[in-house]
Every structure is written in C-alpha cells, then in structure tokens.
Amino acid sequence: MKKFVSMLLFMSVFFTMFAAVGQAAAVVPKLFLNGNLIKSDVSPQLVNNYTLVPLAVLSDGLGYTYEWEHEAKRVTVMSGGNSIVLSINDNTATVNGEPVTMETKAQLISNRTMVPLSFIGTQFGLDFEWKHQEKEVHMFEKPEEPAMPTEPTEPVVPTEPTGWIKQVSFDGMRTLTISYEGILKADKPLYLDDPKRIVLDFPNTVYSDEITAQLNGEIKSLTPDNPLLTSYRYSLFEPAKSRLVLDVIDGIGFVMTVNVGEIRLELMPASEIPVDPNAPVNPPVTEEPPVTEPNPPAGDNVYDIVIDAGHGGKDPGAYSVLKKYEKEFNLSVSLKIKALLDKEKQLKGHLTRTDDTFIELIDRVKFAEALKADLFVSIHANAIDKPSVSGTETYYSRASSKPFADIVHKHLLTGAGLKDRGVKQANFKVIKETTMPAILLESGYLTNTGDSNSLFSDAVQNRIAAEVVAGIKEYLKIK
C-alpha cells in the first residue's frame, strides 16, 4: 500500500503539470498504450488537474472489463483478480474491498461516465510517461521480461454494429430469450456478487428502433416469486455494445443455446448445469470401450433399481402449456414405476424423492451409490420455446449405459406414443457420475400441446410406467 500511495503522489504531480499545459493551450490529450494510439468516440477531459476518460477507453483501449449500474450510478472496473468500485461524484473508491480516498472522482459529462485514468491505471500496474512536445500520455504495461519497443500502429477505428436486438423476453419460469437480426455473439459472462448477478455483453450490437425509443439508461423487468431470477435489465453499455444483467438467486447459472435469430438462456441451479454445456449432444465415445455383453446374467437375484423423479420443490422444472409443472409429471410417473417394480420378485424400486421435495443432484447420485444400485433411471419431460417441437428422447453419458438406453427407449416410445427423437449422449450429472448403468428419459415436450396432453393423461402415464418396467426386465433378462 505504501508503494501505491507514493505512486499516486507522483501521478498527482504528473497530471497537474499535464493539466496546466493542457488548459493553457486548450489541448485534448492523446492517449497511448504500449505505443498504440487509443481511439475513443469521446475525447479525454481535463478536470481539476486530472485526466478523465470515458469507460470505453478502459475496455476497448486498456482491455479491462467493467459493469455500470445505472440506478446506483456506480461502475465496477475489473482486471485479472483485482476490482475497483467508483461512484459518481464520490472521492472514495473501493479497491479489492478496501476503501481508498482519491484526489478526484468519477463524473457524468454530457451523459457519459468519465473516470480518473491515473487512479485506475496505476492501481492495475501501468507505468505513465508525459511527452510535453507532443502533448501525449503514454501508458506501458509492466512486462515480466524486458521487451523490445514496438512501433505505433494505426488508430483503432470504432466498429460498426453487426447485430440488432429486437426483443428480450422471459417465460416466467427459467428461459430468457433474446431475438435478434444480423450477427450476435456474447462475451464471456461475468459472475458478480453483492448482489448476485450475471453480466453478458454483446459487442458490435445495438437495439432495434422500438427498444431504443424506450431506453432511458436501461430497461428493467422484475420477476416476482421466481425461484431463480429476481429481475433482468438491459442497456446500451457503449455506443456499439449492449449489456444484459440477470439478477439471480445465489447458486444459479445458465446454459446458452444459440440459434439463427435467437439466443436462449436456460437458468438452473449451478449443480444441474452439464459438466460441459458446450459439448455436442452426441460427443464421440472415448470414456469407456464398448461393452460386448452389457446384460447381467439371468438368475434369482433381486436387483435394486433407483427411480429418480427429476426436479421438485423450489425447482419446478419446465412449465407446461396446461399450466402444470414438469416436477408433477416426473413424480407421478416415478410413483407408478415404483408400484410396478414392487410387484416383481426380482426387482426392488427405490425413489430419490416421494413427494414435492427439492433434492440436490449430487445427493441423488450419492443415494444410488450408497445402495449399490444395479440400474438408475431419471424421469423428465422436455421444454423449448418452439411449440412445434415434439417427441421422446433418451439420454446416456457413459458408453456402458448405451445398451440400457437403447432397450428402454424402444419401450418408452411405445408407452408415450410420441415422435422418436432418438437416443443421445449428454453429460447430465446424475447419469455421468453414477457408476451403474444410468439413463435419463425425456418423455415428451411440455411446450407442445399434443405432447403435454398425452403426458398428463393418467392412461399414458400408466403405459409409460409399464413400458419402462418392461424395458428394465428385458435388459436384465427377467421373464
């Protein structure tokens, strides 16, 4: 900290000299980083003997990330593991959680947030040099090893927008949809605390005229009583960068699906997110060699079968067009399967939940492992924001589970009577981290009227339960 204070004192003298010259000659200073000119749509300002720069200089010029909170009039600047919090017209900053008094303060000038360059740059390890003749400020990153000087490059020209956000909507449950035109690509998300929030930036992106007409700093939507999300807000963060902020409950993450003209963010407990959410649905099988004889030998053994009713309690799962929750379907079918298993002499059913209770995914895995279960079947129903999508899918993770998935999927199709969407591989936690053959059944799409009517039919649920048991018996070679 002593070194930091000394550096600030030096910078105070340095920028005081710079400001005096700039004010006398009415010169707008030029900024360079490692010899490269930093170009901005708003020029730096000399205020009270200090140089203030727009936020765009921090991100586009210096490579820092930041978040602007419109209501609080506060900006958080981040670089590596360090952070600085500045509030408009406040001389006290927070550096890595510790209050520090500044000689100047962040200000709003012509509706743009301007921040003190010397304070932020010095804290993040930059060296400064003032070139009097050229009226230039040169900043240098401290290299780990001596580096050869580089020639200045051409000024960075601001990029024209390539994407236009037309609508941001939330289905009231867990899916947030961004409709767009052009090319839209998100930067790596920022996970921030106090309060918990996820920040997504979309460079080279603006909003449609309809949204722009409503923007007054930002648009904020509340989501009362939602177990995952308290609110979401979006704004034009920079002239050609849009920002979306999700105010989430602790422990919540998301999986992003990108389609042409649409990005879907599906919120879920972080423990439920697939190990690799960006992995293809059918990745190459490399984890285990194919098994030549998957079925256990026939005999008089009693097999322990874990039936996992997906979701439950505060985690309702998908929302049906019939105004019912996935967790209701999952539990109903699981109870029916358990009742049928208990009628079989060689099969014993075990439920991960018997009522509307929230069970962590890892606890479902531990439950099956503690039992030394022979098989694991997780019951689910699917959802997507395209109501035309219909059909039944069965998932496995480890290669040794695929023969079990193939057999049960064949029976599940008969029970559900819906379109065959195939057997697929995915890294869902409950089927990846269990050691016995394990599968996850997506019986149909609750967002499709036909599928939903079928799945919430007692007769269809009875058929599904009977066919799942028949599939288990076929796999175990039980008559």
CATH class of 2-141: alpha beta
Which tens digits make up the pLDDT trace of 94-118?
887 777 777 778 888 877 788 887 7
Fold that domain 163-270 belongs to in CATH: Immunoglobulin-like (2.60.40)
Instruction: Give the pLDDT score at 475.
Output: 96
| 2-141 and 163-270 share one fold | no
Instruction: Give the pLDDT score at 260.
Output: 67
SS (H, E, C) the chain: CHHHHHHHHHHHHHHHHHHHHHHHHCCCCEEEECCEECCCCCCCEEECCEEEEEHHHHHHHCCCEEEEECCCCEEEEEECCEEEEEECCCCEEEECCEEEECCCCCEEECCEEEEEHHHHHHHCCEEEEEECCCCEEEEEECCCCCCCCCCCCCCCCCCCCCEEEEEEEECCCCEEEEEEEECCCCCCCEEECCCCEEEEEEECEEECHHHHCCCCCCEEEECCCCCCEEEEEEEEEECCEEEEEEEECCCEEEEEEEECCEEEEEEEEHHHCCCCCCCCCCCCCCCCCCCCCCCCCCCCCCEEEEEEECCECCECCCECCCCCEHHHHHHHHHHHHHHHHCCCCCEEEEECCCCCCCCCHHHHHHHHHHHCCCEEEEEEEECCCCCCCCCEEEEECCHHHHHHHHHHHHHHHHHHCCCEEEEEECCCHHHHCCCCCEEEEEEEECCCHHHHHHHCCHHHHHHHHHHHHHHHHHHHCCC
Highest mean pLDDT among 263-267, 297-301, 329-333: 329-333
Instruction: Give the pLDDT score at 299.
Output: 52
Instruction: Give the pLDDT score at 460.
Output: 96
Position 18 confidence tier, pLDDT thresholds 50, 70, 90: very low
Domain-wise residue ranges, the chain: 2-141, 163-270, 303-476
Fold that domain 303-476 belongs to in CATH: Aminopeptidase (3.40.630)
> What pTM value is reported for the model?
0.47
Which tens digits make up the pLDDT trace of 147-201?
455 555 555 444 578 888 988 988 877 888 898 888 888 888 888 887 888 988 8
More confident residue, 134 or 241: 241
